Structure 1
Amino acid sequence: MPEIIRHDGSIVADDWQVLADPGEGEALELPDAPCLVPAELWLAGREHYAGKPEIGLWLDSHEEPELVADHIHELPLIAVNFPKFSDGRGYSSARLLRERFGYRGELRAIGDVLLDQLQFMKRCGFDSYVLRPDKDITKAPRCLNFFSNAYQAATDNDEPLFRRRGEFPVATA
């Protein structure tokens, strides 16, 4: 069974299956296990999926979080796909889901997720991560907290470093 990394550094089994967008004329078949449905298909069948704790959705990098903003509180898990490690749109999606739309459920990074991205993803609001298959998951806990302090405010700490350290004295001339 695949494994995921949680924001606290624990490595656990991943019960969720990411369902691919079916081809033209094909129907989406749901397994008898928790699954993540493509966002547009979830919206099209929302009445059928809503309120089921074993069904979440995943956003592709080109899909805006506004697409599902009115329904996010119905979802136990939202995943954001990173099609390539250099595509940073998923970071913005995570911040919007957490800060603008108030999503409090599990937010997962999927796709081309690398170890050196984990702390930055955590700061943007992700709380679980599926690493790319060729990466060593045992190194992930260290990567989540590689830096002890960050200068900027983020979802994990809404005060910048200068406010956490107190006011600096102002030099007078």
Structure 2
Amino acid sequence: MAILKHGALQPNDWLTVADDAALPEGKPAVVSLDRWLKERDTLIGRNTPIGVKLKSDQSPVALKEDLERLALIVLEFPKFTDGRGYSHARTLRQRLGYKGELRASGQVLRDQYLFMDRCGIDSIEIADEAKVDGYLESLGEFSIWYQPAADRRPTVRALRAAKRTEPSGGSAVVRESVAASWAY
């Protein structure tokens, strides 16, 4: 499975471990929410990064007290019409303040990648590495936004306000704002 993160293919260093399987020594592992809740104390004691996979019907609020301990949260998109993962990403980023990596897995379509990025999802799993260029193209299909989102890109309203208040037309402010918006 190819991992697309911040506009580039990345190696997948994470192993997804079944609930009844042993955890790999010295390697980052992703466990289910059920396993995390049952074995939390043991998993926290590991000296390697740990991640949790949330099914679309599982609330991210269940991880509220443990977010600083998790390096990765994988959000499942079981079918492209199930949008709960978007809500989970926004909840994790904006309401709960999660700073680690958010990854989308499952039915991740090219046309949805930009919106996943806007919700705060850092990386996606894609089945066909040959389609990466299409996913990357989708990130540039829209350049201005009316709604604020987890990616903190400036909205049209903010861009217009900056242009009105700057003697030079606000272009420096806009450039700085756009550059800062990509770092979360």
Same fold by TM-score greater than 0.5: yes
Report the 3-state secondary structure (helix = DSSP H, G, I; strand = E; otherwise coil) of the residue aligned with 2:126: coil
Q: Aligned runs of 1:1-173 on 2, under 5 Å?
A: 2-7=1-6, 9-20=7-18, 22=19, 27-32=20-25, 33-50=27-44, 52=46, 53-133=48-128, 136-157=131-152, 159-166=154-161
Asked whether the 8 Å contact 1:114–1:132 carries over to 2, the reply is: no
Distance 1:114 1:19, change over 3 A: farther
- C-alpha displacement of 1:135: 6.8
Asked whether the 8 Å contact 2:49–2:70 carries over to 1, the reply is: no
**Percent of aligned pairs with the same amino acid:** 40
- C-alpha displacement of 1:155: 0.7
1:33-52 Cα shifts (integer Å, max 9, x gaps): 32210012112111111154
- C-alpha displacement of 1:134: 8.2
Q: Which amino acid aligns with 1:29?
A: A
**4+ aligned runs moved over 4 Å, structure 1:** none
Structure 1 residues without counterparts, runs of 5 or longer: none
1:27-68 Cα shifts (integer Å, max 9, x gaps): 232234322100121121111111543321110000001111
Structure 2 residues without counterparts, runs of 5 or longer: 165-184
CA distance in structure 2 between the aligned counterparts of 1:149 and 1:28, rounded to whole angstroms? 46
Asked whether the 8 Å contact 2:2–2:127 carries over to 1, the reply is: no
Report the 3-state secondary structure (helix = DSSP H, G, I; strand = E; otherwise coil) of the residue aligned with 1:162: helix
Count of aligned pairs: 162
Aligned Cα root-mean-square deviation (Å): 2.2
1:79-132 Cα shifts (integer Å, max 9, x gaps): 100011110000000000001110001111111111111100000000111024
- C-alpha displacement of 1:162: 1.6
Asked whether the 8 Å contact 2:2–2:129 carries over to 1, the reply is: no
